Amino acid sequence: MTTPPQLRRPNGVVSHLSASNGGRVAKSDSVTNSQLVRKHGGFIDVPKKLTQQKVSGSGTSQKLTKLLLNVSIQNSLGPIQVVMSPENTVRDLTKSAVDIYVKEKRRPLLSETDPRCFELHYSSYSLESLKPEEKLINLGSRNFFCCRKANSSCSDEAKAATSSTFPLTKFMDFLL
């Protein structure tokens, strides 16, 4: 049985090097090797003064400045990532997501790019849409699903296409 490699320090202390890092000593800018003490069994004791974080100034917690939100648009392949302030509303998020989708020219192309024609849900399985006035910080989620509104003036075009006597005529452009 082989013994792990050893490192002899200038102060005469012999320490065993870990095999997990190939026997190399890890260097750290903020913590010197003399402040960390390796106990037998592989655990490292970190002094309490290094683990305690000092609270800056008045001791108040930091306020969120930006949120990274994922919005999946109906029939799209992947979510759109939007960075917004937590004080923005669901309406702002819907507008930003639709604008980014159109700007990036994602497929399938949207027939209507007006953000008022879309509603935001927690998931594609959620029946209830989110209120447009709701603040993003109060939602409790960072992943959303955006789809067209079921009852809106934006869907008049779809109703007109399905009400024709020959429903296959809307596909004639593909045949020519």
Task: Name the residue range of residue 13's domain.
Answer: 1-48
CATH number at residue 122: 3.10.20.90
Higher pLDDT: 164 or 122? It is 122
* pTM for the predicted model, two decimal places: 0.54
Kindly state whether residues 31 and 71 are assigned to the same domain.
no
Kindly state whether residues 92 and 43 are assigned to the same domain.
no
Judged against a pLDDT cut of 70, whether residue 109 lies above it is answered with yes
Kindly state whether residues 73 and 2 are assigned to the same domain.
no
Domain count, the chain: 2
Kindly state whether residues 97 and 131 are assigned to the same domain.
yes
Kindly state whether residues 137 and 77 are assigned to the same domain.
yes
pLDDT 10s digits, 118-149: 999 999 999 999 999 999 999 999 999 999 99
pLDDT 10s digits, 41-98: 555 555 555 444 444 555 566 777 899 999 999 999 999 999 999 999 999 999 999 9
Over the chain, what HEC string results?
CCCCCEEECCCCCEEECCCCCCCCCCCCCCCCCCCCEECCCCCEECCHHHHCCCCCCCCCCCCCCCEEEEEEECCCCCCEEEEECCCCEHHHHHHHHHHHHHHCCCCCCCCCCCHHHEEEECCCCCCCCCCCCCEHHHCCCCEEEEEECCCCHHHHHHHHHHCCCCHHHHHHHHHC
Kindly state whether residues 2 and 37 are assigned to the same domain.
yes
Residue 176 within any structural domain of the chain: no
